[in-house]
Structure 1
Amino acid sequence: MQTDNAAASGKGMLHYFKWAFIVTLIGLALGAALGWQMTGTMGGMLSVFFICAVLAVLEISLSFDNAIVNANKLKSMSPVWQHRFLTWGIVIAVFGMRVIFPLLIVVIAAGIGPWQALVLAASKPADYAAIMRDAHLPIAAFGGSFLMMVGLSFFFDHEKDVHWVQWIEATMQRYSGIRGIEVAVVLVTVLIFSRFLRPEDSQVFFRAAIWGLLTFLLVEVVGGLLDHSQQMLSGAAKGGLGAFLYLEVLDASFSFDGVIGAFALSQNLFVIAIGLGIGAMYVRSMTIMLVEQGTLTQYRYLEHGAFYAIIALSIIMFLQSLFHIPEVVTGLGGAALIGVSLWSSIRWNRRVGDSADSAG
């Protein structure tokens, strides 16, 4: 293990982001070609090229916390399942969430077939985007409740012994022994937000939020059963198929906001898929770097910042059921929380280093 860490620490930034850079070049070239095919003008080509670049930056800014949480889960998974998530998982993330998911929303909302939805996306992008925006309320409720459960489960943990914001986290740990406390917090939050909506919207919001909550609980149950079965059959390390499924649902919840928000920049499904797909590759690269470099152990509060950002994102998704919040606010807010946690970690490392020097 020490040899592996030493080898990982010797890898430069270019090594981790090599494939992300390659996908960026290919994606932007495809975006430019698509812009030329759509408009036949240099201005149209440059416009689509720029939109793809902005969408990639949007996805990266929204996904810092996603990479950290992925790395936190991956470090407890067996090497085989780590590899599977970073290969199959990225295919599901890029094509499943950035292409298939928006199509499925239109299929369900408009009551049409998958092929008709694809034709609608290609021939009538404005109608397609309108259906996506109309479906935002249940998506926000589902994603908000799922992500809030993810964030609260990190803090309501009786084994958690490192606290960043001491008075909040120590209190949450103290009450972590109360069964179902995270579920109660989410349900109360959902009830509060549903009271500010119109009756017909309130029912849709509440039903979708309950499904988000149930999805989290079902993934936890199914994941535990699958991982237990793997341990019984092969003695595999904790964190196999169950953890893989958990990470895929988590990535989907993170992607909701970016996919819906992308329609504010472009109504073309293929332009959105290119831009968000580029960003997803950087998330994968950041995840690998965090795992191999052991960054989460070097900076003790980094995970805390990511999970605070997740809870903040869940609240923002709930708030978006009431009014629009620009995606730049979401992205910068999460990045700021992670940045502050990184700064606090560096300060703590310096204090420990100074204390060790003094003792020496």
Structure 2
Amino acid sequence: MRVLVRNSLALPVGLTVVAVPLVWWLISPAAAFALVALVALEVAMSADSSVPMAGLAARLHLPARRFFLSVGLVAGVLAMRLLLPPAAVAVSAAESPVDAATEALVQPALFAEHLGAARPGLAAFGAAFIWLVFAEYLFNIDRAPRPHPWLGRLEAAAARVTRPRVLALGTAVAGAALMTALVPANDRVTVGVAGIVGVSTYLFMRAVGRLALRGDAAWRLHVYAGTVVFQRGLTVFMLFEILDGVYTLSTTNTGLAYLEQAAVAAVGVGIGAVYLARLTSRIDSTKGLARLRHLKAGAAYVLGVLAVLLWASLVVPIPGAVVGWYGTAIIGAALLTSLRWRRPRRLLAR
């Protein structure tokens, strides 16, 4: 098993070994140290995110799964983490996408202010969308057999509801409506509209996915994989950027010039995406979710808690320790409860 993990991480480790000296030589030692710190953060977060992503990868057909685990996951994470914040600022501040991207590079303080203003809408959008992704598991929309529910009778009852799609949509709308009523008055329109957009985007992506699966053409499978990449990329973006209020381009604030910060952030996020893809691929190839029966449930509940935290962040600040460790706690609990504990043979022989 150790050999398999070592082989799976050979590519991202090699990229790190090559990138750090290059950044040292081309930019500065400070940039190289900043890159090491950013890659370390990405690796730590990837260890948590790889399990939920493996859960979604397991639902793909083989050609689409290969695309998702190789090119699609890396491209999706890069696009969501580097392009979604400028896009959000462009919409919120009524700027062009080019102006928002330029602002992120040359005026990071102003960009951070604009991103803060856009954060309520982003959080409301992400919460509604991610809750619906979690509700697919909670209410067992695909009607998959679940002989060993992780949370016992409560989870089993939720998986047997008669109209799972209606209940999933109803809980998402109820959550969005409740938070719209609780946020400050000046944010209610933004939060309400963002929640509606989040629900609508999920329904659109589901419709596209269902249509793509109606045929056997390779392009259809890639379209379906693209919808899954969007789900995962959005989830990772929300986890990394919204809850803790940190934008990727500001995580390397070490006195570097703006373009140097952007270069270090792009390289660090890119290497982190490769780490994530390789870890996810290893979990999928070793059938870790099948052998550890509660790991898939843990991956789903990570999404459910993330949606709740996003909604809660609209009215109360979420401590960084909660953001950084809640996923580890849930996945760790799922892993421990999946292990088959056996009494020593000497005790059994007595």
- How many Å separate the matches in 1 of 2:203 and 2:213? 15
Match of 1:3 in 2: none
Residues 332-347 of structure 1 mapped to structure 2, 5 A cutoff: 332-346=325-339
Q: Which amino acid aligns with 1:92?
A: A
Match of 1:86 in 2: 69
Does the CA contact (< 8 Å) of 1:148 and 1:314 recur in 2? yes
- How many Å separate the matches in 2 of 1:87 and 1:167? 38
SS in structure 1 of the partner of residue 9 of structure 2: helix
1:135-165 superposed Cα distances (whole Å, 9 cap, x missing partner) = 1111111111111111121021143423011
Confirm or deny that 1:282 pairs with 2:270.
no
Match of 1:202 in 2: 188
Tell me the CA shift for residue 168 of structure 1.
2.1
* From 180, 184, 209, the counterpart of 2:170: 184
Residues 285-300 of structure 1 mapped to structure 2, 5 A cutoff: 285-300=278-293
Task: State the aligned residue count.
Answer: 332
Match of 2:341 in 1: 350
Tell me the CA shift for residue 132 of structure 1.
1.7
Match of 1:246 in 2: 228
Match of 1:171 in 2: 157
Root mean square deviation of aligned Cα: 2.9
Residues 64-83 of structure 1 mapped to structure 2, 5 A cutoff: 64=47, 66-83=49-66
Residues 1-360 of structure 1 mapped to structure 2, 5 A cutoff: 12-29=4-21, 32=24, 36=28, 45=30, 48-64=31-47, 66-157=49-140, 158-161=143-146, 162-228=148-214, 230-231=215-216, 234=217, 240-260=222-242, 261-263=245-247, 265-266=251-252, 268-346=261-339, 349-350=340-341
SS in structure 2 of the partner of residue 322 of structure 1: coil
Unaligned runs of 5+ in 2: 254-260
- How many Å separate the matches in 1 of 2:103 and 2:227? 31
Unaligned runs of 5+ in 1: 1-8, 37-41
- How many Å separate the matches in 2 of 1:114 and 1:57? 30
TM-score by length of 1: 0.81
Does the CA contact (< 8 Å) of 2:212 and 2:220 recur in 1? no
Tell me the CA shift for residue 244 of structure 1.
3.0
TM-score by length of 2: 0.83
Q: Which amino acid aligns with 2:144?
A: E
SS in structure 2 of the partner of residue 12 of structure 1: helix
1:37-60 superposed Cα distances (whole Å, 9 cap, x missing partner) = xxxxx5xx1xx4444444334444
Structure-2 change in CA distance of 1:226 and 1:269 (3 Å): same
> Which range moves more in the overlay, 263-272 or 245-254?
263-272
Does the CA contact (< 8 Å) of 1:143 and 1:254 recur in 2? no
Q: Which amino acid aligns with 1:262?
A: V
Tell me the CA shift for residue 128 of structure 1.
1.7
SS in structure 2 of the partner of residue 180 of structure 1: helix
